[in-house]
Amino acid sequence: MKKKFLVMLLPLLVSTIGCANKETPTPSKNYFTLWNDCDSLRTLKAYVEDVTNKNSPNFIPVNERIATFDMDGTFIGELYPTYFEYNLLEYRGLDDPNYTNKDTSVVEAAQAIRDFVRDGVDLPDHFDMIHARAAAKAYSGMSLSEFDSYVKEYARKPANGFSGMTYGESFYKPMLEVFKYLEDYNFTNYVVSGSDRYICRALVDSIGIEPNRVIGMDVVIKASEQGDKDGVDYTMSSDEYLIRTDELIIKNLKTNKVKQISQEIGKIPVLSFGNSSGDCAMHNYCKSNTRKTEVFMLIADDYDDDHANETETNKRKTQWGEAKYNIISMHDDFKTIYGHSVTKTDFHFN
């Protein structure tokens, strides 16, 4: 009888041991080879070790370990010479030989970006919305697969202002270590960006972030033969595919990020990472969680290895300190940004 009982119990013990190992990774593993010993990293590690410890009063169950990450300027470059999606629209509106019958608003937005990056002309007020509406028109009619290929093809271009790196490779390498660390501690990582959702999906595909973990700016999507019919009045056939339209749904910034997190994730994050005022609402939403939380703002203060504005950086340091956000300093906390083989260069224009 005892032997039979042990045989029945063995699978349960194996399962339990497996879960325990997954719950707590090997302590000796060095996740952070590209970080210096710093306050921000110590805070992150202490937090994770606390909330994943079943004996801690701050223990958070696996299904509530939600971490949200802004994209541009938080774990991927945004200063080459501006956001990836702005660079892409500039190319689309002014240089793409295959883009015909151009909408005037697309050309005007693309020219504003060019004037900004080349001549320092200020962007128009509320340019985030001007760009969003123009971008909706610029790629309208493309299938989702065509757009994905279009983004990835542009991402293979050398990143302006750097040597040894393409746009598609311009990840902050130390932040990729954070993704891996959190995944091993059973956090679910979401990208919550102001950039187009499908641009974000194309860029993060290479680092293994699943499409359903990406939230961003959205346009209306339709079936290829749907025309002007409403989706409730139209049945898509198996021969059709999905296409982008020129109708903007949402620009995913500030409180819109909170709205989208609530709608798509359905849970308040316990960790939040960002770099700008567009992320403050997301951070504050995270801090409203009754669970123990931490929020981090990354500061672009490495003027030797990245393109940054010292005045803007110092202003943000003050703001984030007053808001009691943890500050990640690219200069002080990272051993490298893009990798040791990448060097900063002057911007160049054709």
Q: What angle do CA 165, 170, 175 make, to 5 degrees?
A: 135
Q: For residue 21, what pLDDT is reported?
A: 41
Q: What angle do CA 271, 21, 293 make, to 5 degrees?
A: 15
CATH 3.40.50.1000 region(s) of the chain? 29-78+171-215+246-344
Q: For residue 20, what pLDDT is reported?
A: 42
Q: For residue 33, what pLDDT is reported?
A: 97
Q: What is the pTM of this model?
A: 0.92
Sequence-ordered list of residues with C-beta below 8 angstroms from that of 201, at least 6 positions apart, any chain:
148, 211, 214
Both structure tokens of 275: 């770099």
Mapped onto helix, strand or coil, the DSSP state of residue 214 is: strand
CATH code for residues 29-78+171-215+246-344:
3.40.50.1000
DSSP class of residue 168 equals G
pLDDT tens across the length of the chain (350 residues): 444 444 444 444 444 444 444 456 655 578 999 999 999 999 999 999 999 999 999 999 999 999 999 999 999 999 999 999 999 999 999 999 999 999 999 999 999 999 999 999 999 999 999 999 999 999 999 999 999 999 999 999 999 999 999 999 999 999 999 999 999 999 999 999 999 999 999 999 999 999 999 999 999 999 999 999 999 999 999 999 999 999 999 999 999 999 999 999 999 999 999 999 999 999 999 999 999 999 999 999 999 999 998 999 999 999 999 999 999 999 999 999 999 999 999 999 98
Query: What are the Cα distances from residue 245, in Å, to 43, 54, 139, 225?
Result: 44, 48, 8, 12
Q: For residue 28, what pLDDT is reported?
A: 54
Mapped onto helix, strand or coil, the DSSP state of residue 48 is: helix
